[in-house]
Structure 1
Amino acid sequence: MFESPSADSARDWAESGIACLTGRPDGPPLIPPGRAATLARGMTAQIESATNGAVQLDGARLLSERAAFTGHRRAGAVSAGGSCRLLPTADGWAAVSCARPDDPLLFGALVGADVGEDPWPAVTSWLAGHTGQDLLELAEPLGIAAGPVSPVPAAAPQPLVPRAVDGLLVVDFSSLWAGPLCSHVLGLAGARVVKVETPTRPDGARLGNADFYRLLHGGHESVVLDPGDDTERRELAQLVTAADIIIEASRPRALAGFGLDADRFVASGGTWVSITAHGRDSFRIGFGDDIAASAGLIAHDAQGPVFVGDALADPLTGVTAAALALSAPADGSGVLWDVSMSAVVSSTLTHHPDDSERMYRSSPPLDAMCHSLRGRWWVEAPSGIVALAEPQRREPAGDVAESGRDTSKILSELGIR
């Protein structure tokens, strides 16, 4: 996997803005384990090379970018966004997300009782008497985004031969952060990006920070197509046929239910980027915080584990997926990228001799601890003393199309309507 020129994980973490988002609200920032910031910088170096310098991004800083818009800060065992918690189980720790309106009802089914509007007391009590495996066995069929903190070595897919995407058509079925970040990078590289939503499943990120949404979707086009309508289902299939690259973040059966076939698309020479929580063969769901934590990307202090950054699995996967999409097999054939968010996170923890040991320490090693001096936090990295950077924002480069506004125009331009 590509790494940043420094290959100094402590420095890359410090400069990423993630350390400032990691730790207790009333405690010092913490340097996380692993090499996620270093490898994210390596991916953007690969992207810069593939685009002949047209796209210049700092992968490490992308990891904390959303917090620069939302103002999120470190909150210890509660995620920066507030919807996920690290809770003790009978045999360890688990990460549990409660981000959707229906989640309290699902948690009631998990614990076998009415949990009311605040599910956390009941869930905390239930977890204390059950193992991480108990949680997994029930959370998956219930559709709960949760899992034990149980690091499993995994490898992430690696970019192939760099290729230009200028002028290619990208059809983006994804939502939230990881997939849209991938599409954003491809748009910066010159691709035409068309975002697809359905009438009943708009992108939930539209209800989040408007400026951050505009950053990721600026300059893209938007269509709303109903796969339940015969005409629009046919137009959806034609749009996919016209595409060069498909980005989706659903379990395979979801788009298959729309009549869309990834294998057929790849056989025709296309690139299909499939982003899932735990791989295309898994039915587990997940969000950025619970995926990262359950994969083992957590930090520790004397009180126990804390979250690393803000939904870190999302931007880390997004920049990885972009680097993959900006590459292709040498023979020009199509490719299906199975991008498991948990595998991407795990790969940053298991590819370096010191990382697996650090994951299980109760506190960061002394040479990676943060110190306060003159009102700022610093870390002594192997390559020297580094000031901890705050999350930084880029400014949106274009307007966001209203949902579905350009449907007729876009389909007509593509010869579909």
Structure 2
Amino acid sequence: MSTPAPRDPVRDWAQSGVAALTGRPDGPPVIPPGRAATVARELADRITDASGGRVRLDGALLLSERAAFTERHRAGAISVGGSCRLLPTSDGWAAVSCARPDDPSLLGALVGADVDDDPWPAVESWLREHSGADLAERAELLGVAAGPVLRPEPPPVPPTPLRPRDVSGLLVVDFSALWAGPLCAHVLGLAGARVVKVETPSRPDGARRGNAGFYRLLHGGHESVVLDPAETGDRAALAALVAAADIVIEASRPRALIGFGLDAEDFVSRGGTWVSITAHGRASGRIGFGDDIAASAGLVAVDADGPMFVGDAIADPLAGLTAAALAMSMATDRPGMLWEVAMSAVVAATLTDDVAPPPYRTDGGWWVDSDFGPVEIAGPRRRELAGMAPESGRDTDSVLADLGLRR
């Protein structure tokens, strides 16, 4: 087992690229609260051990990696990606996302107003007269990614990996999309697993419309299958593909998977590993994206003007690393495992009451004092791309034929 380097949250934040993405657009970078960057490095150490040294990643840098591709910058109370905002409510603050094509109309329904392409004036006005609890109730009912900025006391503890296991040669079937689940699948692929990405004709991965380089990074070397669960033959092939899998990754509410004819508990009872990534837990009806989840879990930086987003959708990569470490471990008392990764719980468990020192400017850059001396605040960095990301459905026939399956 590798010997981890001494950890200091301030140094880990400064080196992660996340601090450079945190703060007002015309102000200095900010060291975020808590120890999420440190946790990310600890998770990467576990992954290195489980893979026998095959996978060596700096978990802290993964937290800001998308911004290295998009070249976006800190924007204070607007998320780095631009689709989420921190807004005042009658009793505090809330994070509200508007990331999907239907979100403007959903936000209009939430606040009871007619909105065009810009729902923000109506949303801001409504929030000032309503509490965070009012927002949470209506957001869950309408399927809006939004919630009050709260800090649970005490923070929930995410699951802990058990005995490490080698995943090389295992079949991973990945139903997830966007960032958290694909990052988990990417790490398992680096560790030697065969990764098959599954999409449906009506719901391809929305990340395909995002930065092409970042999508290629996470999906390079994987195979792509498109199956329609509404078609009898495809539904049977979908069930057979899952039955052949060693690990399943998904980020859907349980009832949606049951509608596809997929049963996590049955899969686990037959010895498989099922990784379920949700915004707030499998029992919750709330949805969320990386920025609003992190903020509603309490991971925000604060100055005199109010809260600011920490990094870029940080709940996604943190949950993805957690999911990968869990998938690369196994229980000693049962053959299968259902790992439930609630993104909000993963984030909340990294929060502490420690106060970070303010950065200072010198020699043309920003620095901060850590337990190990002055550390320069680094920007996001990207890894080298390896392999091409497959076009949607490219490998459907070959994967099914290779597994002896028929549509």
Q: Is 2:60 the partner of 1:60?
A: yes
Bigger mean CA deviation after superposition, 339-348 or 396-405? 396-405
Question: For the Cα contact (< 8 Å) 1:3–1:40, is it kept in 2?
Answer: no
CA distance in 1 between counterparts of 2:204 and 2:3 reads: 36
Question: Match of 2:239, as an amino acid?
Answer: A
Question: For the Cα contact (< 8 Å) 1:324–1:337, is it kept in 2?
Answer: yes
C-alpha change, 1:205 and 1:133, in structure 2 (3 Å) is: same
CA distance in 2 between counterparts of 1:116 and 1:192 reads: 45
State the match for 2:138 in structure 1. 138
Give the C-alpha shift of residue 225 in structure 1: 0.1
State the match for 1:329 in structure 2. 331
| SS of 1:348 mapped into structure 2 | coil
1:374 to 342, 363, 366: 363
2:185 to 183, 186, 192: 183
| SS of 2:178 mapped into structure 1 | coil
CA distance in 2 between counterparts of 1:346 and 1:250 reads: 21
Question: Match of 1:387, as an amino acid?
Answer: E
Question: For the Cα contact (< 8 Å) 1:89–1:129, is it kept in 2?
Answer: yes
TM-score normalized by the length of structure 2? 0.98
Question: Match of 1:119, as an amino acid?
Answer: P
CA distance in 2 between counterparts of 1:85 and 1:5 reads: 36
Question: For the Cα contact (< 8 Å) 1:21–1:29, is it kept in 2?
Answer: yes
CA-based RMSD: 1.2
Question: For the Cα contact (< 8 Å) 1:78–1:85, is it kept in 2?
Answer: yes
State the match for 2:395 in structure 1. 406
Q: Which runs of 4+ in 1 moved over 2 A?
A: 2-7
1:287-320 deviations in Å (ceiling 9; x for gaps): 0000000000000112111000000000000011
Question: For the Cα contact (< 8 Å) 1:4–1:38, is it kept in 2?
Answer: no
Bigger mean CA deviation after superposition, 182-191 or 380-389? 380-389
State the match for 2:23 in structure 1. 23
| SS of 1:336 mapped into structure 2 | strand
| SS of 2:350 mapped into structure 1 | helix
Alignment of 1:58-97 (within 5 A): 58-97=58-97
Question: For the Cα contact (< 8 Å) 1:317–1:341, is it kept in 2?
Answer: yes
CA distance in 2 between counterparts of 1:99 and 1:406 reads: 29
CA distance in 1 between counterparts of 2:169 and 2:357 reads: 45
Question: Match of 1:394, as an amino acid?
Answer: R
Bigger mean CA deviation after superposition, 89-98 or 108-117? 108-117
CA distance in 2 between counterparts of 1:4 and 1:182 reads: 22
Give the C-alpha shift of residue 383 in structure 1: 1.8
| SS of 2:195 mapped into structure 1 | strand
State the match for 1:259 in structure 2. 261
Unaligned runs of 5+ in 1: 350-354, 359-364
CA distance in 1 between counterparts of 2:393 and 2:196 reads: 10
Question: Match of 2:83, as an amino acid?
Answer: S
Question: Match of 1:244, as an amino acid?
Answer: D
Give the C-alpha shift of residue 144 in structure 1: 0.4
Question: For the Cα contact (< 8 Å) 1:3–1:42, is it kept in 2?
Answer: no
Q: Is 2:167 the partner of 1:165?
A: yes
State the match for 1:416 in structure 2. 405
2:276 to 274, 277, 282: 274
Question: Match of 2:394, as an amino acid?
Answer: R
Give the C-alpha shift of residue 6 in structure 1: 2.2
Alignment of 1:215-226 (within 5 A): 215-226=217-228
TM-score normalized by the length of structure 1? 0.95
2:232 to 230, 233, 244: 230
Give the C-alpha shift of residue 4 in structure 1: 5.6
Unaligned runs of 5+ in 2: none
- How many residues are treated as equivalent by the alignment? 403
| SS of 1:314 mapped into structure 2 | helix
CA distance in 2 between counterparts of 1:59 and 1:40 reads: 5
State the match for 2:341 in structure 1. 339
1:202-248 deviations in Å (ceiling 9; x for gaps): 00000100010000000000000000000000000000000000000
Question: For the Cα contact (< 8 Å) 1:3–1:43, is it kept in 2?
Answer: no
CA distance in 1 between counterparts of 2:66 and 2:137 reads: 32
Identity %: 69
Q: Is 2:12 the partner of 1:12?
A: yes
State the match for 1:362 in structure 2. none
C-alpha change, 1:3 and 1:91, in structure 2 (3 Å) is: farther
